[in-house]
Amino acid sequence: MNRREFMGMAALLPWLGGFPGEVLAVPARPQQRILVLVKLAGGNDGLNTLIPHADPLYYQYRPSIGVPKHRVLNIGENQGLNPYLKALKPWWDKGSMAWVQGVGYPHGTLSHFRSSDIWETAVDASQYTDTGWLGALLPECKPGLHGIAIGENSGPMAGKNCNTIAMQSPQSFLSQISLLEDIQPVATNSVLAHVTNVHHQLYAAGEQLSNKLQRPVTLGIPFSTSKLGRDLEAVAKMILTGVDAAVYMVTLDGFDTHSNQNAVQSNLLHQLAGALDSFAQAMQRGGRWNDVMLMTYSEFGRRVQENHGKGTDHGTAGVQLVMGGKVRGGLYGEPLDLSHLDSDGNPQHTVDFRTVYGTVAQRWLGQPNPWSQFGTLPFV
Amino acid sequence: MGLLAFKDAAHLVSRTGLGAEWDVIKQLEGRSKQEAVEWVLNPKLSTLKSAPPMTPWLKLEPMRLTDMKSRNSAWAISQREGKRLQAWWVEQMLATRTPFLERMTLFWHNHFTSSIQKTLQPSLLYQQNLLLRRHALGSFAELLQAIARDPAMLVYLDGHQNSKDKPNENFARELLELFTIGRGYYREPDVKAATQAFTGWRVDYQTGKFVIRPAEHAGGQHTFLGKTGSFTGDAIIKILLEHPRTAENLTEKFWLAFVSNRPDQVLIRTWAQQLRQSSYDIKGLMRTVLNSDAFWMPANRGTLVKSPVELVIGTVRMLPYPRESTQEMLNLCRLLGQELFDPPNVKGWKGGEHWISTQTLLVRNAFLSKLSRGNLNEKVASGVAIPDVPAEQLVEWLLPVKPLKPLPETPGARRLVRSLLLDPAFQVT
């Protein structure tokens, strides 16, 4: 039973009235549920992340880059983790980690830019929009600040009504926001109304953020000094300091492994696992693990057949990792069928990525599901 | 309206130039409206900065078809030269004496989008930019025919892969949806028929130039928008140009770029009809737009959001602040959502209110704040200076509507200009 459930029951049980006041100091409203997105930019190779080590085809297609069976961290159902994800194994064992397999979309495009846009705007491969999938969802979810991106990429939160802040680091944000004076929204015309409203929203978000960022909590958990480690440390501090954003986003770049894949990807997965492990520990220690869901995504998976440079070329379906105190651990979706590849050598996706988004919208953020035709998955 | 008052001249310059340049405004102040509009529409011939060195098609393209190493270096070359090309346009826009031509070229770049990232051939994008310049105020009909043959466009929308054995619908679909009649006025069989008509329109592998290969053209009878026949690509374009929606879509885009955020559909239909009857004379349409009451109406002032290019390059052109480096300006435009030669997708930049979000406004404000801390009295390369005029005129010069923030109480041009730049009304025009 978490704190919220406890408080819910407490209201029904008159004998609890005898408890000291602070035990029942109920927060004014339930804690904001938080989504943390980790973009694995460049196209992460799903098959060497969550490894189908019992499938002989996997080793046939990847004679030199296939991860030997004895090194794979077996997690059952013939799947195993890349050994460089070792730091995450305890979270799998605790049941707070889910993997969604075979995630993609019909007519997968092999362009980084276009596929990234598709993933971030949740459209069909033949359609275009400027509003990110969260950019449309979040303004319905809550007022005020919606999302914070560390780095430049905040694509999923793009949208003219989505109050997103992109910052290189909390320090650079503090210096930028100090230059902004407040303005009251005007109604001179609808364009100026929009500009002044956004200006005012930005000022309000800036006020809140700078107050909190100037006095961050100490986490008591060491983070690695990799860029991702530092970025997730900043996110952890913002969450535990009580910054009121629903979504945070960080990016780990470098997954475009056309050559010498194993050296590059191992290093990246090692950074990823270390940073996620520290982040999860920090959330647990700070009492927010049950309010946080962390999810990775990448613009595409990679080709099944390795290339001549011990790497892989652009592919289609990939895997997504989901973690959180409320996450129902396990494997979701069907593994890719390596015996049926299309003319480009890519397998058919088994889960549409909008199934995952719909799950986040409906089962995590408690919103109507804009992608209901794709269904949801019970990972949360 | 008889003769242009200062603030009307400022309106015309701000909407058609890059920055409301003081000297230009003063040149137009006191002229008749028609005369001022003609001055804008008939710019003196101006020089174009010479192109940066770019690897030719024939060198770059074969590298992509060989081993990984060559492929990687082809990619690296395209990235490096793509950045140079972006810098070239920024510097052209900073230096030009005919900013209206740059605005129009940018308008067409946003209509007939192509990207260095998809094509990976900066030299083709440069050629396309020259093409857009040549036709910027000419005939839309000729521009459309030329763009359908443009190698960058053929690569960007996969037209160069469209053959009778392997039809590729990408170009035909966008031709109908975005370049001419728009969604709702065609059906899937029309896309297929147009695709067939353009089969064999290729890029010659040896030269990187447009070529028609009759052997790859699918003959036979097709039905396109109710007409049946054996069509060439040009026949399809002709049918599209005869369709009223083509001119209406285009006119609405002009409205949103030059008049206001609320298109007047009745007026648009009238202007569109004139456009079609004039064989798509773009300058004629612009003449109608700029002479219209809607363009000058006070209620329509301050209803267009400055694009990142207008904000970054325009502000630097009009005020004597020490300028940022070209790289920094490119970086700012990117952070603000407008990368030249690399629009976000085939629909181009959505513009208008979409330029403004909490994220971009933070960067816009930080840029203007940093810029306006510079010393206005410092002599800058551009030679512009702050005019020595009363405060009210500085306000009319820099803002299209009354300031939304109170003006500083302490007098001084520098302080006032900074305050006006940081006023939300400076974001609009």
Query: Which residues, in sequence order, are bridge partners of residue B291?
Result: none
Token pair belonging to B120: 């990976």
**Chain A CA closest to residue B336:** A152
| Minimal CA separation from A181 to chain B, in Å | 9
The verdict on B259 touching A (C-beta cutoff 8 Å) is no
Q: Are residues B355 and B418 in the same domain?
A: yes
Distance of CA B25 to the CA centre of its chain: 23
Q: Are residues B5 and B66 in the same domain?
A: no
Q: Are residues B18 and B55 in the same domain?
A: no
| Minimal CA separation from B266 to chain A, in Å | 21
Is B344 in Cβ contact with A179 (below 8 Å)? Answer: no
Residue A307 to residue A172: CA distance in whole angstroms = 42
Share of chain B above pLDDT 70, in %: 97
| Minimal CA separation from B279 to chain A, in Å | 31
**Amino acid making up residue B192:** K
Closest CA to A350 of A305, A314, A317: A317
SS3 letters across B357-382: CHHHHHHHHHHHHHHHCCCCCCCCCC
Is A160 in Cβ contact with B305 (below 8 Å)? Answer: no
Q: Is residue B332 situated within a structural domain?
A: yes
A·B CB contacts under 8 A: 109
Closest CA to A35 of A235, A247, A189, A179: A247
Q: Are strands A318-324 and A34-41 parallel, antiparallel or unpaired?
A: unpaired
The verdict on A198 touching B (C-beta cutoff 8 Å) is yes
Residue B156 to residue A308: CA distance in whole angstroms = 28
Q: Taking CA B384 as the corner, what is the angle to CA B381 and CA B389, rounded to the nearest 5 degrees?
A: 155
Closest CA to A200 of B68, B238, B365, B195: B365
DSSP string, A39-100: EEETT--GGGTEE-TT-HHHHHH-TTTSPPGGGSEEEETTEEE-GGGGGGHHHHHTT-EEEE
Is B358 in Cβ contact with A198 (below 8 Å)? Answer: yes
Q: Is residue B103 situated within a structural domain?
A: yes
Contacts of A257 in chain B (CB under 8 A): none
Q: Please give the radius of gyration of chain B, using alpha carbons only, rounded to the nearest integer.
A: 23
Q: Is residue B108 situated within a structural domain?
A: yes
Q: Are residues B318 and B410 in the same domain?
A: yes
> pLDDT band at residue B378, thresholds of 50, 70 and 90?
low
The verdict on B221 touching A (C-beta cutoff 8 Å) is no
Q: What is the pLDDT of residue A30?
A: 67
Q: Going along chain A, which residue ranges are E strands?
A: 34-41, 50-51, 73-76, 79-81, 97-104, 147-150, 164-167, 247-253, 292-297, 318-324, 330-332, 351-352
**CB contact residues (below 8 A), chain A span 204-263, against chain B:** 205-206, 258-259
Q: Are residues B97 and B36 in the same domain?
A: no
Q: What is the pLDDT of residue B380?
A: 58
Who contacts A23 (Cβ-Cβ below 8 Å, separation ≥6)? none
Q: Is residue A61 situated within a structural domain?
A: yes
Q: Which domain holds residue B28?
A: 1-41
Q: Are residues B417 and B313 in the same domain?
A: yes
Q: Are residues B36 and B81 in the same domain?
A: no
Q: Are residues B354 and B384 in the same domain?
A: yes
Q: What is the pLDDT of residue B178?
A: 95
Q: Are residues B61 and B4 in the same domain?
A: no
Q: Is residue B119 situated within a structural domain?
A: yes
Is A180 in Cβ contact with B362 (below 8 Å)? Answer: yes
A46-55 CB burial, b ≥16 within 10 A, e <16: bbbbbbbbeb
Please say whether the beta carbons of A129 and A123 come within 8 A. yes
Query: Which residues, in sequence order, are bridge partners of residue B223?
Result: B228
- The minimal CB distance from A202 to the residues B117, B362, B427 is found for B362
Closest CA to A269 of A236, A303, A298: A298
CB-CB neighbours of A67 under 10 Å: 24
Mean pLDDT of chain B: 94
Q: Are strands A351-352 and A97-104 parallel, antiparallel or unpaired?
A: parallel
User: Distances from the Cα of A68 to the Cαs of A272, A308, A331, B78, B307, in angstroms?
Assistant: 21, 19, 21, 38, 54
**Chain A CA closest to residue B428:** A192
- Structure confidence by residue, pLDDT tens digits, B163-193: 999 999 999 999 999 999 998 999 999 999 9
Q: Is B17 helix (H, G, I), strand (E, B) or coil?
A: coil
**How many domains are there within chain B?**
3
Closest CA to B235 of B247, B244, B222, B246: B222
Contacts of B68 in chain A (CB under 8 A): 258-259, 307-309, 311
**How many domains are there within chain A?**
1
DSSP state letter for B276 = H
Q: Are residues B4 and B108 in the same domain?
A: no
Q: What is the pLDDT of residue A6?
A: 38
Is B344 in Cβ contact with A191 (below 8 Å)? Answer: no
Q: Is residue A112 situated within a structural domain?
A: yes
Contacts of B404 in chain A (CB under 8 A): 183, 186, 188, 192, 196
**pTM score, whole prediction:** 0.85
Q: Are residues B31 and B48 in the same domain?
A: no
Residue A130 to residue A120: CA distance in whole angstroms = 10
Q: What is the pLDDT of residue A12?
A: 39
Distance of CA B53 to the CA centre of its chain: 23
Q: Please give the radius of gyration of chain A, using alpha carbons only, rounded to the nearest integer.
A: 22
Q: Is residue A265 situated within a structural domain?
A: yes
Q: CATH number for the domain including A293?
A: 3.40.720
Contacts of B425 in chain A (CB under 8 A): 192
Q: What is the pLDDT of residue B71?
A: 84
Q: What is the pLDDT of residue B383?
A: 64
Average pLDDT over residues B308-317: 97
Q: Is residue A191 situated within a structural domain?
A: no
Q: Which domain holds residue A339?
A: 34-163+249-374
The verdict on A128 touching B (C-beta cutoff 8 Å) is yes
Domain boundary among B99, B134, B169: B134
- Structure confidence by residue, pLDDT tens digits, B199-244: 999 999 889 999 999 999 998 999 999 999 999 999 999 999 999 9
| Minimal CA separation from B369 to chain A, in Å | 7
Q: Is residue B110 situated within a structural domain?
A: yes
Query: Which residues, in sequence order, are bridge partners of residue A251?
Result: A39
Domain boundary among B108, B134, B160: B134
Phi, psi torsion values for A143, nearest 5 degrees: -85, 180
Q: Are strands A330-332 and B227-229 parallel, antiparallel or unpaired?
A: unpaired
Q: Is residue B90 situated within a structural domain?
A: yes
Q: Is A375 helix (H, G, I), strand (E, B) or coil?
A: coil
Who contacts A93 (Cβ-Cβ below 8 Å, separation ≥6)? none
Residue B103 to residue A301: CA distance in whole angstroms = 40
- The minimal CB distance from A113 to the residues B117, B261, B304 is found for B117
CB-CB neighbours of A178 under 10 Å: 11
- The minimal CB distance from A176 to the residues B303, B366, B428 is found for B366
Residue A290 to residue A244: CA distance in whole angstroms = 16
Q: Is residue B290 situated within a structural domain?
A: no
Please say whether the beta carbons of A197 and B361 come within 8 A. no
**Chain A CA closest to residue B367:** A176
Residue B147 to residue B142: CA distance in whole angstroms = 9
| Minimal CA separation from B281 to chain A, in Å | 30
Q: Are residues B7 and B63 in the same domain?
A: no
**Chain A CA closest to residue B352:** A191
Please say whether the beta carbons of B408 and B394 come within 8 A. no
Helix pair B233-242, B140-147: axis angle to 10 deg: 150
Please say whether the beta carbons of B294 and B300 come within 8 A. yes
Phi, psi torsion values for A25, nearest 5 degrees: -70, 85
Please say whether the beta carbons of B122 and B54 come within 8 A. yes
In order along its 380 residues, chain A shows pLDDT tens digits of 444 443 334 333 333 333 333 334 444 456 889 999 999 999 999 999 999 999 999 999 999 999 999 999 999 999 999 999 999 999 999 999 999 999 999 999 888 888 999 999 999 998 888 899 999 999 998 888 999 999 877 889 988 889 988 888 888 898 899 989 999 999 989 999 999 999 999 999 899 888 888 888 999 999 999 999 999 999 999 999 999 999 999 999 999 998 889 999 999 999 999 999 999 999 999 999 999 999 999 999 999 999 988 999 999 999 999 999 999 999 999 999 999 999 889 999 999 999 999 999 999 999 999 999 999 999 99
Q: Is A148 helix (H, G, I), strand (E, B) or coil?
A: strand
Q: Going along A158-285, which residue ranges are E strands?
A: 164-167, 247-253
User: Distances from the Cα of A156 to the Cαs of A40, A361, A373, in angstroms?
Assistant: 14, 13, 20
Is A128 in Cβ contact with B345 (below 8 Å)? Answer: yes
Contacts of B177 in chain A (CB under 8 A): none
Token pair belonging to A237: 């501090």
Q: Is residue B19 situated within a structural domain?
A: yes
Residue A261 to residue A9: CA distance in whole angstroms = 52
